[in-house]
Amino acid sequence: MAEPLLAVAGLRKRFGGLAVTDDVTFSVAEGGIHAVIGPNGAGKTTLIHQLSGTLRPDAGSIRFGGRELVGMGLARRARLGLARSFQITSVLAGFSALENAALAVQARSGPSFRFFRAAAAERALNDQAMTALEQVGLGARAGVLAGRLSHGEKRQLELAIALAMQPRLLLLDEPLAGAGPEETERLIGILLGLKGTYTILLVEHDMQAVFALADRISVLVYGRVIATDGPEAIRADPAVRAAYLGEDEAA
């Protein structure tokens, strides 16, 4: 059997007395969307932080494309092909949408210790950045300052930046967070369009979205993965229903 693209084993992280990542083991195969769901405070964002390199796990290993990631910083992992989006939008407000994406293209297009030529005039960077914006339906807004985009458009830009990195794995932390019903609809459509081209690890709260998108789902509760399976099996799993879905319906 081929090694999975991402293999997480025995990952642990404590904040004081609280085990936020508690012996987490799962793997993500190349292709498709693997979702991580779980109630508020289950430790989903903390998990993404450890995968992307903004937080160091207490124990465990994260293998990506055959390399150990633990101990490597965020920037290094990004250059290896691990792109993450943020639950709280994190774009460059003073840059245009195009320049936000072009920066990501630049990161994988040769050295950046170049001091003379105008970066904004580099066709190769702009063209690829434009492609990424068009993939998320932001092509028409390329020239607008990111800070002036609507909330939903910022979520789209967040995604476009990740795509512009041409990653091997996309880590998306609640890409639908804070989006209205129409925006959600649009973002789900965009994610469906990416399916097949990218391998995606999707953390998401919106159940409808998760069941519409994911090929596999891991359920995280109090830092533990209580089940990993296909959507139908997860929906039917009594432990999952008790811990999460039931609670969600009751709410």
Partner 1 sequence: MRAALILLAALAAAPFLGFGEGYSLTLLARVMILAMAAVSLWLLVGGGGMVSLGHAALLGIGAYAVVVLDDARITDAAVVVPVAMGAAGLFALVTGAVAIRTSGVQFIMITLAFGQMAFFTASSLAAYGGDDGYTLYGRTTVLGQRWLEDRLAFHYLCLGLLALTLFGGHVLLGSRFGRVLRAARENPLRAEAVGFRPYPYQLVAYSIAGAVAGLTGVLLANAAEFVAPSYLAWQRSGDLLFMVILGGLGSLQGAVLGAVAFVLLEEWLGHITEHWRLIFGPLLVLSVLFMKGGLVGMLRRG
Ligand X SMILES: Nc1ncnc2c1ncn2[C@@H]1O[C@H](COP(=O)(O)OP(=O)(O)OP(=O)(O)O)[C@@H](O)[C@H]1O
Whole-angstrom Cα Rg for the chain: 18
- In the complex, least distance from residue 234 CB atom to partner 1, rounded to whole angstroms: 30
Which is closer to partner 1, CB of 17 or CB of 111? 111
Closest CA to 28 of 73, 65, 76: 65
Rounded to 5°, angle at Cα 72 from 100 and 92: 15
d(CA 56, CA 71): 7
Q: What is d(CA 175, CA 245) in angstroms, rounded to the nearest whole number?
A: 20
> Residues 130 to 169: which contact ligand X by CB under 6 A?
none
Instruction: Name which of 77 and 216 has its Cβ closer to partner 1.
Output: 77
Nearer to partner 1, 93 or 212 (CB): 93
Q: Which does 50 bind (CB under 5 to 8 A by kind): ligand X, partner 1, Mg ion, none?
A: none
Find residue 33's DSSP bridge partners.
Answer: 200
Q: How many other CB atoms are found less than 10 A from the CB of residue 89?
A: 17
Task: Give the contact letters, 9-48, x = binds to ligand X (CB under 6 A), - = no.
Answer: ------x----x-----------------x-xxxxxxx--
Query: Tokens for 65?
Result: 């494309």
| Least distance to Mg ion, CB of residue 141, Å | 27
Closest CA to 243 of 142, 234, 130, 81: 234
Smallest gap from residue 218 Cβ to ligand X (A): 12
Residue 27 to residue 218: CA distance in whole angstroms? 10
Residues 25-54 close enough to bind Mg ion by CB under 5 A: 44-45
Q: Applying CB under 6 A, does 85 fall inside the site for ligand X?
A: no
SS3 184: helix
Applying CB under 8 A, the residues found at the interface with partner 1 are 52, 54, 73-76, 78-79, 83-84, 86, 90-95, 99, 102-104, 106-108, 111-120, 122, 161, 164-165
Around 242, how many Cα atoms within 13 Å sit in the side-chain half-sphere?
5
The Cα 151–Cα 154 span in angstroms is 5
Smallest separation (angstroms) from ligand X to the CB of 203? 7
State the nearest-atom distance from the C-beta of 251 to partner 1, in Å.
32
For residue 20, the partner it binds in ligand X, Mg ion, partner 1, none, with Cβ less than 5 to 8 A by kind, is: ligand X
Q: Which residues contact 230 (CB under 8 A, 6 or more apart)?
A: 215, 216, 217
Rounded to a whole number of angstroms, the minimum distance from the CB of residue 92 to ligand X is 23
Residue 151 contact, options ligand X, partner 1, Mg ion, none, Cβ 5-8 Å cut-off depending on partner type: none
Report the interface residues with ligand X, using CB under 6 A. Answer: 15, 20, 38, 40-46, 87, 205
Report the interface residues with Mg ion, using CB under 5 A. Answer: 44-45, 87
